[in-house]
Every structure is written in C-alpha cells, then in structure tokens.
A and B are shown apart, each in its own frame.
Chain A
Amino acid sequence: MKLQMVGCSHHNASLEVRERLAFSPDQVATALEQWRISYPLTEAVLLSTCNRVELYTAAEDLAIAPSYQQIKQFLAEFHGLPLQQVFDDLFEQSGEAAVRHLFTVAASLDSMVLGESQILAQVKQAYQLAAQQDSLGPITHDAFQRALRVAKRVAAETSINDKRVSIASVAVSGFARNVFERFDDKQILVIGAGETAEEVLVYLREAGAQHITVINRNEDSAAKLARHYDGNAANWSELDAKLTAADLVVSATGATQPVVTIQRFQSLEPKRYQRPLFILDLAVPRDFDPAIGDCLGVYLYSLDDLQEVCSRNRAARDKELPLALGIVEEETNQFMQELYHRATGPIIRQLRQGWHGVRDEELRRLFNKLPELDALARQEISQAFERYVNKLLHPPLESLRDESRTGTPHSLLEALKRLFRLEE
C-alpha cells in the first residue's frame, strides 16, 4: 500500500513555475482521465490552486505504484514541458509525510496567508473532481475525507482562522463583518484605483459584495478596476453623491491633503439619515479627516488601526500554531495506524474464514452423531464453538493490531501466512 504526493507550492516554486504547472478545473478532469489510462490500478487526486499544484497518488500494491520520476514526467508532459525544466521545482513525499502534508494543507497551515478559508473549499473540490473522474480509490478517499475533518477540527478547536494577518482581511473579516451581516445589498464605494484598494475588493467580492463603484481622479484607471470587479466607474465630481449612498467606503488615493474633510462630511450627514457607514481609510496621508470617526453611525478605520490589529493577530496566531500542528500530528498518526492495519485485512479475513470453516465442519459432524439434540442444545453448542474460535483468534489479531501501530507488519504477516498456510 503506497500513498505519495508530487507537487510544487509557493514555498519552493516561483509564481512563473506555478503558473506553467497549474491546471484549470477542465484540465484537472482531462489529466485524471489520462492518469487512469496510464496507471489504471492506481488512485489519483489533483489539487491545483494559485499557490500549489499537488498530485496525490495511491496504490494497494507497491509493485504497481508509479515512481516519483513517472509522476513528475506525467505532470510535465501534460503541460508540454520538458521534464528537466520543472524537475527541481517539484517536491515529493510519501506515506506518513504525504498524509501529514495533505492535512497541513487542508487545515490552511501551509497557506501563504495562514488560516485562510479558501483552501478547504479547493481541497473539497479536488476530491469531488477525482470522484467524478473515477480516479478516487479507498486510500485517497479516506485520506481526503480525513483531511477535511482535520481542517474542521483545527477551525473549531483553535482560533487560527480568526487571526487574520493582512490589512485587507482584517478590515473585511475582522471589522466589516461585525457591522454588516451581508454585503450583496450594500453600496461599496472605492476611492482611488491602486493595488491597496484592489486587495480589499478581492475580500469584499469573496464576502458577496455586488454593488461596487470606483471613483478616481484618473477615470481610465477607475473604469479598468471597476470592469475587473463587475462594478461601475464614477466621475470624481460625483463623490458627494456616492458618499451619501455608500454603506462601505474603501479609500486609498495618493492625495496629499484629506479628500473628505469633516465639514464636507457634515454637509452630507443629513441626507444619510445616520445610516451606518464603514470607512476603510488605507491612504497615507489619510483621505478622511479623523474627526469623521466621531460622527454618529460612522466607523472609521485607518491603516494604523488595522496594522495594530494585524500585529496582535500575528502574535496570537503564533501561539495557536503549535496547537493546530498538534491536531495534524494526532490525526496523521491515527490515520496511518488505520492505513497500516488495513494492509492486514486480507490475512485476517483468510484466518477467520479458515478457522470458521473448521468450526462449521466440526459442528456438522457432531450434530450428525448426536441427532437427539434439540434446537436449544444445538444453539448452545454452536455458541460455545464460536466463543472458542474467537478466543483462539484474539491473540494473533491483537498482535497484528499492535504491530500495525508503527507500520505495515510485513514480517508478522509473512509468519502468519506460513504458519497457517494462507495464500496471497
């Protein structure tokens, strides 16, 4: 029985390499189909995200399991790349290390932003695609199911997912979500069209934001950003009207003076009817006068406010990390024990069948010799034989279980086969 993984991630491969090896969902389906043709008796699950491409394979029989070289060859060939070009960027793991890696990935402990929730959905999607393509087998099924369980445990038993560490994620998940229950009916106003604003927009879109307006002095940049996020661009002269209608404002212009002064905001206040307004002022120097934060219903956050929370979260997350890794370790050990024990299944089955066969034969002979026995007596005797066989089987099965804790007990299995003349 062999479970292995070959892949690359943001830890060891550049973005350029990851892009060349990445699979779209359609490509994943095609790749898994090709895999089944090339290695029909092996299982495969392909996980492809922005930050990683990992192919998990498994085979019941060690002899038919593909080598690392073959898996790497498969990945390179699929993308029409010479193997030498990507060989060093692909890393490999097998057995316990591969399982531990999968659990760590699913629990978002290997992600670029630790604790981000997207990876769990991606692992689930990879599992489902493999199931659809029929490339999933008992080992990968169990491994991925367990991985999803590990992720849930880490999320439930640690607060690592709550500890956001990027400005954008803290702003949206840490604060905006405490103001708004949903974002799909909120008016989002983005002032400025730079990278900072865009980063927040990614999180807001993820949270469900749909009504996005981008306003910028340079209208072309505003239009480009708006187009990218299915939003609308507005003219700079409409700023007051847009501010009045907004529920959430993200501001990140390069202006050297505040864009919205307290006087300007106060002139808009009556038209807002004290509706809550969440403002993320990510500009340096600030776009919004800090005094606006004192207005009724306004929740104003500057870069410094968010940075402070990020630092606090980073420290708290570092404290949680050992606990999360402890869960991964515990689940890995448990899973490996089960996996090793499963390898003993055919021998146990044969042993049971053989002994129970002898029992049935002896019972038949006994009942033939003693036809006067009534149904109750026959039942009592059958049960006594059953107990006898089970008691005799108990010590070897226990020994197998104990030996399975550290690996597949090849020598013990061999001994049992020879002692009881069991066949493969």
Chain B
Amino acid sequence: MSFLAGISVFCFAASYSVVLLLEAVRMFYWRGLRQGVTIGFAAAGLLAQTLYLANRAITASGTPLSSAFDWNLLGAWGLVVVYLYLSWYHPKTSIGLFLLPLVLGLIALAEFASREPFPQSHAGQIWGTIHGIFLLLGLMAVTVGFMAGMMYLLQSYRLKHKLPAATGPRLPSLEWLERVNSRAILISVLMVGVGFASGIVLNMVSHRIKIDEVPWTDPVIWSTAAMFGWLLAAAVFSAVYRPARSGRKVAYLTVVSFAFLAVTLGVRMLLPSEHGSQRSESGELPMSEVRT
C-alpha cells in the first residue's frame, strides 16, 4: 500500500490541467489531438484521485472522508466523472473547457480547507452523512448547471451573430444545454433542500436543541439557506412562468445559482463559523474551534 501514500493532490491536479490544456488546444488544432488522449489523461487523473481518496479513507482515524478538504475533493471527483461521461457521449464538444476549471477550482479550494474531520456524535453520524452527501450532490448539480448555462449563453451568442460552429470551442446544441440547465435546477433544489434540512436535524440531534435554537446567524448556515432559497425560487419561477422554462432565462438562473454557491463556499472559507464544530455541553463553542 506504500504506493498509495505516494499519490498526491498534485498528481491528479496536474492530469486535469493537462486535459484542460488539451481541450483548449483542440479548439485550434483538433486533427492531431484524438479524443482518446484527452480521455486517457482525465481517466488517469480520476484513477489517481480515487486511489488518493481511498488511501485517506483507509488511513483515517475517525469517520473516513469527513473533513472539508475531503468533501471538496469528493465534489471535484464527481465532476470529473460527469466530465468523462459527457465527453464520451459528446466527443466533439469542448465540455472540459467549461467544467475542468471548476474541478481545478474545487481542488484549489480543498487545499485551503481544513483537513480536520468534522466532530460527530454517534447520534449525528447518520444525519451528518445524509447532510454531507446531499450537499455534495447539490454542489455538483449547481456546478454542472453553471457549465451548461455558460455554454448556452456562448452558443446562443454565436448563433445570434451567425458565427459558424468551427469558430471557437465546439458546443452542444441549445436544446441539449437547455435540458441540462432545467434538470440541474430541479436536481440542485432537491439535493440542497434535503442537505439543508438534514443539516438542521443534525444540529438538533447533535446538540440536543430545538429548531428555534439552531444558530441561523452562523454565516455558513445563512449563506446555505440563501442558496437554497434562491434555488427554490428559481425552480418555482421556472414552473409557473412559462418563458423561464426555455431559452436564455434558464441559463441565467443556473449562472446566478452558481454565484450563490460561490458565496456559500467563500463564506465558509473566510468568515468565522461554528458550523461543523463541536459545541460544549452548554451549547457554547470553544474558542479553539472557531475558524477564521
């Protein structure tokens, strides 16, 4: 197992960077760059990342993969799986050009995130897992939606201005992108909704508090609540206002959703929060647990 310990974040980050570079070069020089090379590098990166995460899970002293660092890497891992799936079915499109910067962004974010596992009581373990998994899936859905939204806006601009498909990155059809956008909104509102609700339950179970005692003013909680509120509003808006179900409006909704996600992640990184920390019996947070 010693070779597992030799795999570092740099290994897969470098692989994904090469894929991104290949995707960029492909815009100008498609011929020599076969899809196989790009997919090969991405698959190699994914394998390295899988082994890295597996190693962390095996060697963890407590609950495996339960730190902010791990969750960010898991999010990036999921997005790479999405990238490989989409690249396989749409080999001529430049999906990686839009998705891989987000993957690399999440990996970079992981580097700055805490590697300390979230403290968990026995009672909170199940709710903590549900909370984490659903928020992670929500993050992935919002990110994929953002990618599709950006691609939609670019494709729409290109078609409006009569620019031929050969100009710039190869993009899927507007119809496909619109479908991905709509589904991303729906899936993200469901995932973030369940993730958020399970977070509240987790708070109540772990700290034996009532719902009105949940620390709503905590930056991570209010920013997540704001994101969920926006996603819910976007989903309701799409359902009741017919023009919002198609065209650029759906793309704008997913782009704004990502802005909310970015704010949530930024708040988590930059503002002091007691989220994910162990409170004392009295409900007070020890000063040592406050992250800045």
Contact = CB atoms under 8 A, between A and B. Distances in A.
Interface of A: 156-159, 162-163, 170, 174-175, 177-182, 273-276, 293, 296-297, 299, 301, 305, 308-309, 312-313, 316, 323
Given A178-B159, A293-B160, A276 B165 contact: no
A180 B162 CA distance: 16
Interface string B160-172: 1010111000011
A159 B159 contact: no
B205 to A, nearest CB: 46
A312 B158 CA distance: 16
B175 A181 contact: yes
Contacts of B114: none
A273 B155 contact: no
A309 B242 contact: no
Interface string B122-156: 00000000000000000000000000000000010
B175 A179 contact: yes
Contacts, number: 69
B247 A275 contact: yes
A308 B162 CA distance: 10
B162 A178 contact: no
A181 B34 CA distance: 24
A309 B155 contact: no
A162 B165 contact: yes
A275 B166 CA distance: 25
A297 B246 contact: yes
A274 B246 contact: yes
B8 to A, nearest CB: 36
A177 B162 CA distance: 13
A291 to B, nearest CB: 13
Nearest to B249: A274
A309 B165 CA distance: 10
B176 to A, nearest CB: 5
A276 B247 contact: yes
A293 B161 CA distance: 10
Given A273-B243, A275-B247, A162 B166 contact: yes
A244 B160 CA distance: 20
28 contacts: A159-B30, A177-B173, A178-B158, A178-B159, A178-B165, A178-B171, A178-B174, A179-B159, A179-B175, A181-B172, A181-B173, A181-B175, A273-B242, A273-B246, A274-B243, A274-B249, A275-B246, A275-B247, A276-B175, A276-B178, A276-B247, A293-B160, A297-B246, A297-B248, A299-B160, A308-B162, A313-B164, A316-B166
A369 B158 CA distance: 87
Contacts of A170: 164
A158 B158 CA distance: 23
Contacts of B174: 178-180, 276
Interface in B225-271: 242-243, 245-249
Interface in B56-112: none
Contact of A181 (B165, B176, B249): B176
Identify which of B166, B178, B242, B245 gathers the most chain A CB atoms within 10 Å of its CB.
Answer: B166
Contacts of B159: 175, 178-179, 299
